[in-house]
Structure 1
Amino acid sequence: MAIAAVPGYINFEDDSDSPVDGMGSLRLLVVGMTAAGKSALGNSILGAEEKLTTPFVSKLSPAPVTKSSESKDAKVFDYHVSIVDTPGLFDTTNYIEDRNVLMRSISLVPPGPMQYFSLLKLVDLQRK
């Protein structure tokens, strides 16, 4: 399954690894570190720019914005899309807390095939 996450546009190419079920539903889980753009990706996939709404709170901030996992649904083209946005993971050495957050997030995804996005934060590694 190839998904192009361009604002307001999702390109579905049919293949055997498709997270789209026979009912036209797509389930996505977005994970990554704090400030990696998880909420912004969810908003883009759901077409928030065209609808002038923001399903997930998203702003430029070095501190965590998303405090707990949340799920939003929308009709994108002819597909029912469910996206679970997660708080930042892997930012601390508290792996048990990260595991619990991840397990809760997975429980919010409706039953069926699922695709996940793992976002990485780009940082400046150049020494001054």
Structure 2
Amino acid sequence: MENKLLDLGFDVAGNNYVFTSPKGYEIIICFTESKYIIDYGKNIKVRHKSTSNLTKPENWVVLECVIRLLNKGYSPSAIELEKTWLLGHDESGRVDILLKDILGKTYALIECKTWGSEYN
């Protein structure tokens, strides 16, 4: 686990791992109760907390994608995780990452997949 976090650009800070973007935004991974919890900070909106831990392989993909977006210069306030929409009367859908433009309008939707059968 530690090697993966270091490969993504995290630094060890006590019991936590901290990623700092080129513009100084921080994402912190805390180890609590046998789980790694992701704190995406106050500017990245997280709508559903299911993506805020490292227990599922897809959450690693979302984390890596967010880091890449920050490294490319996207504003943290332009990134929203796990946005949900109603689809018809009885169903809903959720997208992993929603990006907003400078006016706050939806710019892009990113659906993250793990390698293998889910990706195929």
Structure with bigger RCO (C-alpha 8 Å, 6+ apart)? 1
Higher fraction of strand: 2
User: After TM superposition, is the score higher than 0.5?
Assistant: no
What's the TM-score, normalizing by structure 2? Answer: 0.28
What's the TM-score, normalizing by structure 1? Answer: 0.27
